[in-house]
Structure 1
Amino acid sequence: MSTDRRAVGARLRALREAPPRWSRAEMSRLLRAAADPRDRAAMPHVETLTGMIKAWERGDHLPGPRYRPLYARVHQRPESDLFPAPAAPALIPTTADDTVEALDLARRVAASDVGGDTLTALEAAVDDLASAYPTSDPGHLLGRIRRHLHYVDGLLDARMTLAERRRLIAVGGWLSLLAATCHIDLHQRAPAAARLRSAAALAWHAEHSEIAAWCLETEAWQALTEGNHRRALDLSRAARQAAPRGSSAFIQATAQEGRAWARLGDADETRRSLTRVERLVAPLATPDRPEHHYRYDPAKSDAYTATTLAWIGDAAAEPYARAVLGRLEGGEHGPPRPRRAASARLDLSLALLAADRPDEAAHTALEAITSGRLVPSNHWRAREVLTAVKARQVPEAATLSEALHDLCNPPNKQDVAGSGVAGSALDS
């Protein structure tokens, strides 16, 4: 069906641009003029209809039954030439296109302008996508996010109040930020940087300080994974300054600052950051959707503590890491989260190294590497375990090295990158 939409959209655009060449605004006026006078009053204004034409020509969705006869009259062609009958529906699962089409249908039934119901539905879609992030393949999730971004882009030309426009821009900011996170997981640096710039610009236009803070925090995590620890520290601090006090972004940036201090080898500053996180998290209740990427789940602080303590070689990291792993795999605190469990095993491996148990550390790291859940944005953490295991001449080092080599060098890198097997920047 998406192919049909694109083909129809290309046909409509080609007809409009053929001599005598009409602009979209001119096409809007022609469609209105072709309508019965009794129906014209219920049609959208020229500005709104122009945005709808843009979306139709782009293939986002098909013109509805009200507009197809009007197109036929304007172009003096049978309606069946412009809009072929759709193929028989295949038995396929629901996709993100269904969600976007449902949003558009609701908007067009209620009114042609962007209204509160459409914006509320879009905000709910953002929450669904952010909640799907910890358990979804980033490549697949990125496709869903793109479709929603295209839909938001198509709405920007519609008529709306200033408050509605600000809400719409904020939706675009959240979607761009989540897309950037998926690109980081896939080690796609250029698209990630572009998405982060876009999200930051939208946050500025929407005057949305939390999105702005999350942009900085996400960039801090990316810097940390790339070994740029001082930059990660600076970005984490900037994120704390930008975030509303006590918000999820503020807590996350504080935790990220602690990790940066750990990578810089400052144990005192690291522990001070952990103490700040503990105080911030203490009064929090578990959110209604703890899997939401941008809502801080208090239980997540244990995972950060395990990682951070392991990075400064503190043996106290082990009980934290074991508790986190048990919680992620146990199911009593929600469904098992195998992706996060894989990165938790790396934390446990580092903790076991700090406790001078390298054999067990090698075995635990091997479980993570061979789980099929470890991600490109976390491969460097596995390399650190391997380096430490080799330095201690653990017999399992050769097996671990071979497994990590296979993970980082799959038979067809392009296929693996395209499938989006990658990990969470918040598991981060």
Structure 2
Amino acid sequence: MKLAGLAMAAPAAAAQILEQAAAEAMEFTQQAEATSLGSGTLDHLDLAVTEFNRAYSLKPPKAVFDAMMDYRRKVNRLLKAKHTHSQERELLAFAGWLSELLAWLAHDLGDARTGLAFATDAFVHGQQAGHGQLCAWAMDAAASINLYEQRPAKARNAALKGLSEAPAGHPLTVRLHAQAARASAADGDAEGFTTAFHAAQEAHRLLPPRSPRRFGMDVMPLADYALTSYPATSFIWLGQAEKARHHAEHALATYEAAPEASRSPSREAIARIDLAIAHAQLGDPSDAVVLGHRALDSARVVDSVRNRARDLTSFLTRRYPRQSAVEGLREHLAALDTAARPALPAAPSGA
């Protein structure tokens, strides 16, 4: 009707209509650009998430969790404020990245429920931001948490869900295939493990020469670690001790050879525990106990390390009940368990 009115109007009236339309167009543009975000807010968030990624493996998880939770709440408030559509996508992605790291930290602190809640939050925010890679990282966290909670079917489903979102040719695809393999092993499915692990190896073979980075950090080592440490654990679960020993030694050598900035004390500790269990299965409890103590002396003994150490001490107690050294390892672990409680504050609703 307005178009018809413009066609029938006198030249002077038509000019007035067009002038008013130009003013409205300017208002539309101003509304599209209206934002309450400061000019450096997104840059600040990018820097903060980068620093949190670097701090994850180096600092005590409780301290990092508290600081990161504060930033996650800030991003939540920014999402409720006035911002542009492009700013909203960036804020959604930052919210997701923070929640992905919070999922890992909650897992490290022994709270699987909180960890899975943040993994789900990261996935949903990744979807809203149109960020498939973020969704895949979130499901990588969910797969690990479910494995440690002895829910291999859920772990495998999370890995497959992540693979459906992961970019082709990204090292994360290697890790997710390896997660699916580890979940099959935990379920006693040797054939499923072999199929998924071969898929991980093939994905690794097809990776491009140049590795992508995640907040300034090379992600290729995470794929390499998955091809060494995950099969070590898997072969232990499948009762193939010699293969477990071989992969655990390779994993430990890989971790120890990594640059200092990329070292992960907790992953090294788990590799030592896998090697210890393999030695115990092969009839060498003395080396197993020594490796267990070295793992528990790590600079970062998180819940996953203590969880695997409980597997080691339980096996040693059953297989070698008269070994006094085993009791010393049990006491070492018990002291660390006591020191770790309570670990995680309750997250407020709506976070």
So what's the TM-score if we normalise by structure 2?
A: 0.76
Q: Cα offset for 1:263?
A: 0.8
In structure 2, distance between residues paired with 1:352 and 1:233: 28
In structure 2, distance between residues paired with 1:322 and 1:309: 13
**Deviation per residue, 1:361-380 (Å, 9 max, x gap):** 22211221244532213322
Query: Residue 103 of structure 2 corresponds to which residue in structure 1?
Result: 180
Q: Structure 2 counterpart of 1:170, which letter? A: A
Three-state SS of the structure 2 residue aligned to 1:245 is: coil
- For 1:328-367, what aligned pairs fall within 5 Å after superposition? 328-330=255-257, 336-367=263-294
2:156 is aligned with 1:229? no
Three-state SS of the structure 1 residue aligned to 2:162 is: helix
In structure 2, distance between residues paired with 1:141 and 1:397: 34
Q: Cα offset for 1:258?
A: 0.8
Q: Cα offset for 1:184?
A: 1.7
2:326 to 394, 397, 406: 397
In structure 1, distance between residues paired with 2:143 and 2:157: 8
**Deviation per residue, 1:238-288 (Å, 9 max, x gap):** 222233333344332211111111111122221222221122123355747
Range moving further from structure 2, 268-277 or 317-326: 317-326
Query: Residue 299 of structure 1 corresponds to which residue in structure 2?
Result: 224
Three-state SS of the structure 1 residue aligned to 2:57 is: helix
1:409 to 331, 334, 338: 338
More helix by share: 2
2:307 is aligned with 1:380? yes
In structure 1, distance between residues paired with 2:54 and 2:64: 11
Q: Cα offset for 1:175?
A: 0.8
Query: Residue 114 of structure 2 corresponds to which residue in structure 1?
Result: 191
- For 1:42-81, what aligned pairs fall within 5 Å after superposition? none
- For 1:192-231, what aligned pairs fall within 5 Å after superposition? 192-231=115-154
In structure 2, distance between residues paired with 1:128 and 1:171: 13
- For 1:199-278, what aligned pairs fall within 5 Å after superposition? 199-278=122-201
Change (3 A) 1:383 1:293: farther
Q: Is the 8 A contact 1:287 1:296 kept in 2?
A: yes
In structure 2, distance between residues paired with 1:332 and 1:187: 28
Q: Is the 8 A contact 2:115 2:145 kept in 1?
A: no
In structure 2, distance between residues paired with 1:287 and 1:351: 33
Change (3 A) 1:223 1:277: same
Q: Structure 2 counterpart of 1:227, which letter? A: Q
Structure 2: any 5+ residue segments left out of the alignment? 1-29, 346-351
Query: Residue 246 of structure 2 corresponds to which residue in structure 1?
Result: 319
Query: Residue 152 of structure 1 corresponds to which residue in structure 2?
Result: 75
Query: Residue 66 of structure 2 corresponds to which residue in structure 1?
Result: 143
**Deviation per residue, 1:104-144 (Å, 9 max, x gap):** xxxxxxx96455x6434423432332232122211111123
Q: Is the 8 A contact 2:112 2:149 kept in 1?
A: no
Q: Is the 8 A contact 1:249 1:294 kept in 2?
A: no
Q: Cα offset for 1:181?
A: 1.6
Q: Cα offset for 1:186?
A: 0.9
Q: Structure 1 counterpart of 2:238, which letter? A: I
In structure 2, distance between residues paired with 1:224 and 1:112: 42
- For 1:125-136, what aligned pairs fall within 5 Å after superposition? 125-136=48-59
Q: Structure 2 counterpart of 1:299, which letter? A: D
In structure 1, distance between residues paired with 2:233 and 2:216: 20
Range moving further from structure 2, 241-250 or 387-396: 241-250
**Deviation per residue, 1:196-239 (Å, 9 max, x gap):** 34323312221222222222332221111111122222222222
Q: Cα offset for 1:172?
A: 0.9
In structure 1, distance between residues paired with 2:236 and 2:243: 8
Q: Is the 8 A contact 1:230 1:264 kept in 2?
A: yes
Q: Is the 8 A contact 1:251 1:296 kept in 2?
A: no
In structure 2, distance between residues paired with 1:208 and 1:292: 18
Structure 1: any 5+ residue segments left out of the alignment? 1-44, 50-110, 420-428
Q: Is the 8 A contact 1:145 1:175 kept in 2?
A: yes
So what's the TM-score if we normalise by structure 1?
A: 0.63
RMSD over equivalenced CA pairs, Å:
3.2
Q: Cα offset for 1:401?
A: 1.9
Q: Structure 1 counterpart of 2:296, which letter? A: I
In structure 1, distance between residues paired with 2:134 and 2:37: 26
How many aligned residue pairs are there? 310
Q: Is the 8 A contact 2:32 2:84 kept in 1?
A: no
